[in-house]
Structure 1
Amino acid sequence: MEEKQNDKKLLHLDILKSIIKWFLIVIVLLLVFGLGVFVGEKKAKFSYRWAENYHKMFAGPRAGFFGNWKMPPFDEFIEGHGTFGEIIKIEGNNLVVKGKGDVEKVILVDEKTVVKSGFKNIKVADLKIGDIIVIIGSPNDKGQIEAKLIRVFPPKTSFRQKLHE
């Protein structure tokens, strides 16, 4: 009789252990799923309004990509020509930029050119040799780019450089 009670207790204990084990497995799976959703939402915040943010960053109307329904001409839209690289020479209103494949391109800058560093507008005179920039503009007949927007990227810094400062 005592053995039957012990067997029943062991059986109930095994069932309880198995229920607890499966409950913990479900909890862990829910936590992993929740973490995946959290990370996915963080990444999606960057890209789900890409078109609207692109236009804001590249001198479009402040209302967003489709915020200003105007009839043509759409003169606030910037053409899609440009380049990216490092300034290697500054000659008056011309910049020489060394881009991908070590190709050098001449960039023409005028008073209408918008120069941005982060969210601030800066002057062309603030540009210096070694700056990494992206240029959006229009090509001319001489193979040069007439810049409409120049965006300066922050300088590369390494962890080691920050330690020694």
Structure 2
Amino acid sequence: MTLNDWLTIAAVLLSPLIAVQVTRYLDNKKEVRERQLWIFKTLMATRASSMSPHHVEALNRIDLEFKASSKKEKDVIDAWKAYLDLMGDDKMDPSQWNVRRVDLLVELLHKMATVLDYSFDKTTIKNSSYYPRGFGAMEEEQGAIRRGVKELLDGGRALPLYVTNFPPADAPLPPLGE
């Protein structure tokens, strides 16, 4: 047998193995991209509602699905860390904190858009979300109700009671035991 025959036999034997490995590699890359896309799409869809459980879940998956090994993905991780750092800052004035939060979220989403080949500019990301005013009012009302019930249960607030329809002063009292 010649070298050419051996190479042909090796190619016939190894080609299915190589094909399987290439397919697995491509499938893995596709799965990673799909998970990254889920995070990005979820954050984009909930960017006006940062208290959404889906928003929080997507934020918590960033460091799982984006790796610091590539320059673009490292930029996402760095932007996520800056955003996360702000989330834990309770010393900043609330109005300044919210402005900074929005700016950092826009930066994070812009970095993710770049990695995932979406062409969103920061202004579009910041200004093109829809959040009905009624949602905000409903969240404020639910928060007020939760705080009020908590104060009541903690003993910090009394439940006001008003008696109406008193019986007339000259009405006979019912006999005891009825």
TM-score normalized by the length of structure 1: 0.31
Q: Which structure has the highest strand share of the two?
A: 1
TM-score normalized by the length of structure 2: 0.29
Q: Which structure has the highest helix share of the two?
A: 2
